[in-house]
Amino acid sequence: MEISREKEGLELKQLYKSLASEYDLAERCYTFGAHSFNFLSVLDSYALLDRISPEEFIKDEQMPYWAEIWPSAIVLSSFIADELSLGGLRVIELGAGVGMASVVAAWKGASVLVTDYSLEALRFARYNALKNRVVVESERLDWRLVQCPEQFDLLFAADVLYERVNLLPVVTAIDKLLKPDGIAYIADPRRRLAEQFLDLAAENDFSITPFQRKYTGGSQSVAVNIYKMARQSTST
């Protein structure tokens, strides 16, 4: 679903001006499904560490991972563009960061809810949706305490298995947010923690189908697995 050029231009300018006043920005072109996309992110995510007060870190232990576009998000977005049919489906992304996978899913015809714990991330995701002329909804979501009442056909997440404390909350969130026959696709750069995540998913009656992929756009290639999760009773 596309938006008007008039609305795109006005809100884009206002949002870019606001973000540029607060961050050093980087914008880069990516190609998915033979279509060119532009995505805005923070130039140096490590520079944001100084903005986190000790009080904020103790409260949430939230690092600014959202500010960077990680190889797993790029690989997942390519997978969505090339290998999935999303027309008419309701989709949610967990830990969306700047919203790359969500934008590509919306371009593929899905109705998309972009979620992240960081409200700043959702501002970038909004900009990127406008820039690429797709419509998405956005909502703050804490996967430790999911309060979203809706269930979705598909769930996407990239690079969310980086801390052991998150593993069970992510599995629980997936279970709560998916329709009974829903499917989740989780992209991860083959961290050791992914094995523990898969064990927890199996204990919660999910079957797992892995897809092995590789990101080759940086200075060195990164192996990425995309895990397809389906409830065992409905898995095909």
Can you give the CATH number for the domain in which 113 is found? 3.40.50.150
User: pLDDT by residue (tens digit) across 80-130?
Assistant: 999 999 999 999 999 999 999 999 999 999 999 999 999 999 999 999 999
- Looking up tokens 């992209």 gives 187
Would you state the pLDDT for residue 10? 85
Is residue 129 in a domain? Answer: yes
CB 22 within 8 A of CB 119: no
Is residue 63 in a domain? Answer: yes
* Rounded CA separation 153/155 (Å): 7
Is residue 147 in a domain? Answer: yes
Is residue 80 in a domain? Answer: yes
* Rounded CA separation 230/184 (Å): 7
**Amino acid (1-letter code) at residue 217:** G
Pair type for strands 111-116 and 178-188: unpaired
Question: Which residue range forms the structural domain that includes residue 120?
Answer: 5-231
Point out the least confidently predicted range of 41-55, 92-106, 144-158, 217-231. Answer: 41-55
Is residue 195 in a domain? Answer: yes
Would you state the pLDDT for residue 43? 83
Is residue 236 in a domain? Answer: no
Is residue 115 in a domain? Answer: yes
Residue 61 banded pLDDT, cuts 50, 70, 90: low
Number of domains in the chain: 1
Residue 202: CB atoms within 10 Å: 14
* Rounded CA separation 25/41 (Å): 6
Pair type for strands 206-215 and 222-231: antiparallel
* Rounded CA separation 67/95 (Å): 11
Exposure string (b/e) for 94-104, b if CB count within 10 Å is 16 or more? bbbbbbbbbbb
Residue 58 banded pLDDT, cuts 50, 70, 90: very low
CB 156 within 8 A of CB 101: yes
User: pLDDT by residue (tens digit) across 168-222?
Assistant: 999 999 999 999 999 999 999 999 999 999 999 999 999 999 999 999 987 889 9
3-state SS class at 64: coil
Residue 49 banded pLDDT, cuts 50, 70, 90: low
At a CB cut-off of 8 Å and minimum separation 6, what does 91 contact? Answer: 102, 105, 110, 111, 112, 113, 152, 153, 154, 155, 156
